[in-house]
Amino acid sequence: MHFPSLATILALAASTVDAAKINLEIGYFSLVIPPTTGNTPGIGCGPWALATGADGSTKSPTGMKGSDECPNSELRNFCQRFGCPQTLRFGDTLAFQIQSGSGQSLTVKGSVLNGKSQTVTCGRSVVTHPGNKYRTNICYFDL
C-alpha cells in the first residue's frame, strides 16, 4: 500500500483512496523575551506543532495561539495554558482540533477534506528537533 506524503494529502485529500499515516506532535517551547519593564528579560512559552507523514515529510500548521510566562515548568496542561478547543490547519484540506487535555494526554480530532476523521488520545513524550528537546504529546492518525 502506498502512503502519500503530507504535500500529496494537502493537494489531493478530496480524492485520495490510500490511508495517510500522520504523526502529530503537539507541545510548547520556551524562549527568552525582551524586557517589558527594566532591563531583565523574561522567559515566554508558546504552543507548537509538527505533522510528519509516513515518508518523513514534515509541515507546521497555522492557527496556533496563546502564550504565557512559563509558570512552573512541570505544569504540562496544554489546554489550561493555551486554551481548547484549538484548531490547527494544514492548508485547506487537513485540520486537527485539540479538544481537551490533562497534564498527561490530549484528545485530538483529525479531519481531511474528503470527510474522513479520527479522534485519538495523544500520550506524552519527549522529542528532539535540531538539538533541542521538547516535551510533547504525540498523536498517531490513520486518515
Could you report the per-residue pLDDT of 71-84, keeping only the tens digit for each? 765 555 788 888 88
Q: Are 110 and 88 in contact (CB under 8 A)?
A: no
Report how far apart, in Å, the C-alpha atoms of 143 and of each of 17, 31, 61, 110, 116 are.
10, 34, 17, 8, 6
Give the pLDDT band (50/70/90) at residue 89.
Answer: very high
Spell out the residues 6+ positions from residue 125 whose beta carbon is closer than 8 angstroms to its own. 25, 135, 136, 137, 138
**d(C-alpha 94, C-alpha 89), whole Å:** 6
Grid cell in block for residue 82: 493555551
Give the pLDDT band (50/70/90) at residue 36.
Answer: low
Give the burial class of 116: count Cβ atoms within 10 A of its Cβ; 0-12 exposed, 13-18 middle, 19 or more buried: middle
Please identify which residue in the block is written with the cell numbers 525582551. 34
Q: pTM for this one?
A: 0.74
Average pLDDT rounded to a whole number, residues 85-113: 89
